[in-house]
Amino acid sequence: MTLSVGRLFAAAALLGLAGCSGGSIANGRAIFESGKDSDGVQIVAQPPPPLYGRCAACHGANGAGGVRFPDGAVSADLRHAALSEGAHPYTLPLLERAISTGIDNDGKPLDPVMPRWQLSQRDLNNVAEYVLTQLR
């Protein structure tokens, strides 16, 4: 059997991509559950969330939400069925926008209890991908 150099490169590239996407889901999970990314950096928002520096504190580790806040806000259900409802189902870019700017999938501002997160592009992408693909 002969293996061309091209094929070896293709295989290496595929392995690289697979490794990368596994890492991004793990990083997304770390941010969602612990509020720290895989480098151990605490996520921040503006204004800083007082007590709840991690998504799971308000949305639950499974993303089911339903936590009531004094101003009447209720943390959203982030599981797949809920995000797929309505005229504009959440996509990765729409989720990134909601998490970073507080604009929801219908273009409306979310309640201020939901922090406007200031994440690196990598962390924003990873946590949005985690929410979109792992919460059922």
Binding site for ligand HEC (CB under 6 A): 43, 49, 52, 55, 57-59, 69, 73, 75-76, 78, 95, 98-99, 104-105, 110-111, 113-115, 117, 127, 131
Q: Which is nearer to ligand HEC, 30 or 95 (CB)?
A: 95
Residues 6+ apart with CB under 8 A from 112: 71, 102
Residues 6+ apart with CB under 8 A from 105: 83, 86, 88, 89, 90, 94, 98
Q: Please name the amino acid found at residue 45.
A: A
Q: Which is nearer to ligand HEC, 6 or 72 (CB)?
A: 72
Q: Which CA distances in Å does 27 have to 35, 57, 126, 131?
A: 10, 17, 6, 12
Nearest distance from residue 18's CB to ligand HEC, in Å?
24
Nearest distance from residue 123's CB to ligand HEC, in Å?
9
Instruction: List 74's β-bridge partners, or say none.
Output: 68
Nearest distance from residue 17's CB to ligand HEC, in Å?
24
C-beta separation of 54 from 117 below 8 A: no
Q: Which is nearer to ligand HEC, 8 or 41 (CB)?
A: 41
Q: Which is nearer to ligand HEC, 2 or 106 (CB)?
A: 106
